[in-house]
Amino acid sequence: MEFSLVAKDIQSKARAGVVQTAHGAIETPIFMPVGTAGTVKAVHQRELKEDIKAEIILGNTYHLYLRPGLNILEQAGGLHKFNGWDRPILTDSGGYQVFSLAGTRKIKEEGVKFKSHIDGSALDFTPENVMDTQRTIGADIIMAFDECTPYPCDYTYAKNSMERTHRWLQRCVDRFDSTEPKYGYDQTLFPIVQGSTYKDLRVQSAETIASFGREGNAIGGLSVGEPAEMMYEMTEIVCDILPADKPRYLMGVGTPANILENIALGVDMFDCVLPTRNARNGMLFTTQGIINIRNQKWSTDHSPIDAELGGYVSTFYSKAYLRHLVHSGEYLAGQIASVHNLTFYLWLVKQARQHIIDGTFRDWKDVMVKKLMTRL
């Protein structure tokens, strides 16, 4: 994997760059649609490519390991072959999901013992087997096995957890570096900064993570319920320490405003379920602000979902039609809304990138943050 910086904003710490992977280039800043179980929910691959213009999608180790399982993924020749997505894929390690989804779980130095949320069977994730699993899934970018602390989290717990995440990282690196890709193309491992909302822990974690000298770095443990200002404060501390010549990935973030504010602090990559999950509940992000398409006021609005955004579904379908589909419980409602929201998120980061290159990012961002969070 290679990262090159294309431009730096003069008014903020925002950067524009290009990440080269075995499955093609990613222009940063980038938003990565979440495809937990090998599918971005309600969106098919041709829409992802041609309408949304996604450059990379996420998969999840925890879900893919449980279903369809490693044998089937290996038979297929990896996830790219299995789901027909031939551009880059990043897999999260399952650390986060074990903590948020699994039933009873026990965290030990060796790893995490938990029960599957599907059939209750007993499972064991260790830094080593999570590396092997991600090798088998065949993701281009694989994530270290970490513990995402909840918010709030007391200092002693946060410190012990962070230190364990660092020890687990050493084991991830040892395993990853002593194994080969399964399908002939390069994979790369990103470590994850933790440290909850404590400045000194974030500094310590960022310095430790940077010292591993990997090809990219991630920031975890944020956007877990803390105030946005606290998240920005932590992101800034960490970005100032992580190397400038490597991509920085902020995990699980966020709203359009969160994304723009974190781009201004030096973050390059984002993922979040918000655009797809909220789409399935009728919440649309548009260039004019936020719409709840269920509201009566849209029932007679025959204008496009978002004429300014462009893109096929956002201009072809009207608000009144989409509202009708939602109220009728039609599957097409979830599909149209998901494609629209993702088109919007990819448009947003592309706009951000262009404004960074043009040297107008901060002024543009300050206007957009207010506009995008307006409820229409």
Residues of each annotated binding site for substrate:
92-96, 146, 194, 221
31 binds ligand PRF per the rule CB under 6 A: no
CB of 355 to ligand PRF, least distance (A): 26
Please give the radius of gyration of the chain, using alpha carbons only, rounded to the nearest integer.
20
Peptide bond into 243 cis (omega under 30): no
The two beta strands, 89-92 and 57-60, are parallel
Q: Which of 51, 92, 261, 306 binds ligand PRF (CB under 6 A)?
A: 92
Q: Which residues in 203-232 contact ligand PRF (CB under 6 A)? A: 220-224
274 binds ligand PRF per the rule CB under 6 A: no
All residues at 6 or more sequence positions from 277 whose CB lies less than 8 Å from its CB, including other chains: none
337 binds ligand PRF per the rule CB under 6 A: no
Q: Which of 148, 239, 267, 283 binds ligand PRF (CB under 6 A)?
A: 148
Segment near ligand PRF (CB under 6 A); pick from 11-19, 142-150, 293-301, 324-332: 142-150
The catalytic residue among 92, 140, 268, 306 is 92
CB of 269 to ligand PRF, least distance (A): 12
Residue among 244, 199, 245, 238 nearest 218 (CA): 238
Segment near ligand PRF (CB under 6 A); pick from 35-43, 118-126, 143-151, 236-244: 143-151
54 binds ligand PRF per the rule CB under 6 A: no
Alpha-carbon distances, residue 144 vs 128, 210, 306 (angstroms) = 10, 14, 39
The catalytic residue among 51, 140, 268, 271 is 271
Residue among 351, 372, 374 nearest 14 (CA): 351
All residues at 6 or more sequence positions from 361 whose CB lies less than 8 Å from its CB, including other chains: 9, 11, 12, 14, 263, 264, 352, 355
Active site residue 271: yes
Residue among 190, 215, 197, 170 nearest 58 (CA): 190
255 binds ligand PRF per the rule CB under 6 A: no
Where does this chain bind ligand PRF (CB under 6 A)? 92-93, 95-96, 143, 146, 148, 192, 220-224, 251-252
Positions annotated as catalytic residues are 92, 271
